Amino acid sequence: MKLLRFGPKGQEKPGLLDADGKIRDLSGVVDDIAGDTLTDAGLAKLRAIDPASLPAVAGEPRIGPCVGHVGKFVCIGLNYADHAAESNLPVPTEPVIFGKWTSAICGPNDDVEIPRDSRKTDWEVELGVVIGRHAKYVDEASALDYVAGYCVINDVSEREWQLEHGTQWDKGKGFDTFGPLGPWLVTKDEIADAQKLDLWLEIDGHRYQNGNTRTMVFNVAQLVSYLSKTMSLQPGDVISTGTPPGVGMGVKPNPVYLKAGQTIRLGIQGLGEQQQKTVAAK
């Protein structure tokens, strides 16, 4: 299934994308694409519904973030060896963990704000993993059983705040609009192998990132297991699993960063595409 949330900011309704690409309204069935809806039982309930029996949504509504009421937005740094190299940092021997504030979450096609006085706002296409079961001390062999599905994430990053204002990466990762999620949450049964997905990103039509999840240092199962040993994970928590090479910071000889008035397009095989305009933060 492809699950989504549509409507004005803060008033999103749950929806389902049918086989013809039409949005169907799920608000008569569930309150939101969040929490218990993402458990095995919640998803089984949705799979039992004939999409044609649901109201069709007219027009082209705004698509909101594909998960509502996210409890934790956990990110993994330097999870592609070639990205670590372009960042002039060693390949990690254990996952590098940082957080994005949930206030950074926005829709996949919402504007991305360039923070005031920012000179180094950057892009990162990433595979998002949405948790579907309470996970604590999970072994790697069963870790994927705790995944509800996958989505596209743009881990927008302000590098000066991330790297030049102390040691906490979180400061450069959590600005408003720095976490576009979606367009869809694609349930894991539709993805044969999350470690064989192409992912890409363009700025104003120029392709900067081309990668594949097979080159992750730590795969999805390893990440879910590792994180579950450092924190409990709940349904609706989101993990952003790292970016392949091609970020603006790594462009040689001169890094390239975002400025207001640009268009970002990105996507992952089987998970859809995002498109954002960059605007100056007010």
Looking at the structure, tell me whether residues 126 and 251 fall in a common domain: yes
Is 242 inside any structural domain? yes
Alpha carbons 73 and 104: distance in angstroms, whole number: 9
Q: What is the pLDDT of residue 166?
A: 87
Looking at the structure, tell me whether residues 24 and 155 fall in a common domain: no
Is 125 inside any structural domain? yes
Looking at the structure, tell me whether residues 101 and 236 fall in a common domain: yes
Q: What is the pLDDT of residue 272?
A: 98
Q: What is the pLDDT of residue 54?
A: 98
Enumerate residues 6+ apart whose C-beta is below 8 A from 131.
38, 146, 147, 148, 224, 233, 234, 235, 236, 237, 238, 239
The secondary structure of the chain, three-state, reads CEEEEECCCCCCEEEEECCCCCEEECCCCCCCCCHHHHCHHHHHHHHCCCHHHCCECCCCCCECCCCCCCCCEEEEECCEHHHHHHCCCCCCCCCEEEECCHHHEECCCCCEEECCCCCCEECCEEEEEEECCCECCCCHHHHHHHEEEEEEEECCEEHHHHHCCCCCCHHHHCCCCCEEECCCEEEHHHCCCCCCCEEEEEECCEEEEEEEHHHECCCHHHHHHHHHHHCCECCCCEEECCCCCCCHHHCCCCCCCCCCCCEEEEEECCCEEEEEEEEECC
Is 106 inside any structural domain? yes
CATH number, position 126: 3.90.850.10
Residue whose structure tokens are 């694609």: 186
Looking at the structure, tell me whether residues 26 and 77 fall in a common domain: no
Looking at the structure, tell me whether residues 101 and 175 fall in a common domain: yes
Looking at the structure, tell me whether residues 14 and 78 fall in a common domain: no
Residue whose structure tokens are 């206030």: 103
Looking at the structure, tell me whether residues 45 and 159 fall in a common domain: no
Looking at the structure, tell me whether residues 175 and 255 fall in a common domain: yes
Looking at the structure, tell me whether residues 116 and 213 fall in a common domain: yes
Q: CA Rg, the chain, in Å?
A: 18
Is 66 inside any structural domain? no
Looking at the structure, tell me whether residues 115 and 233 fall in a common domain: yes
Is 129 inside any structural domain? yes
Looking at the structure, tell me whether residues 151 and 225 fall in a common domain: yes
Q: Is the peptide bond before 183 cis (omega within 30 degrees of 0)?
A: yes
Q: What is the pLDDT of residue 167?
A: 82
118, 280 contact by CB (below 8 A)? no
Among left, alpha and beta (phi > 0; psi -120 to 50; other), residue 200 is: beta
Is 58 inside any structural domain? no
Is 64 inside any structural domain? no
Residue whose structure tokens are 């390893």: 222
Averaged in consecutive runs of 10 residues, what is the pLDDT profile of the chain (282 residues)? 98 97 97 98 98 97 98 96 81 94 98 97 98 98 98 98 90 97 98 98 98 96 98 98 95 96 98 98 94
Q: Which domain holds residue 108?
A: 73-280
Considering only CA atoms, which of 276, 282, 235, 280 is closest in space to residue 109?
276
Residue whose structure tokens are 């029996």: 53
* CB-based burial label for 211 (10 Å; 0-12, 13-18, 19+): buried
Q: What is the pLDDT of residue 191?
A: 98
Looking at the structure, tell me whether residues 141 and 16 fall in a common domain: no
**In total, how many domains does the chain have?**
2
Q: What is the pLDDT of residue 158?
A: 97
Q: What is the pLDDT of residue 85?
A: 80
Is 157 inside any structural domain? yes
Alpha carbons 48 and 280: distance in angstroms, whole number: 45
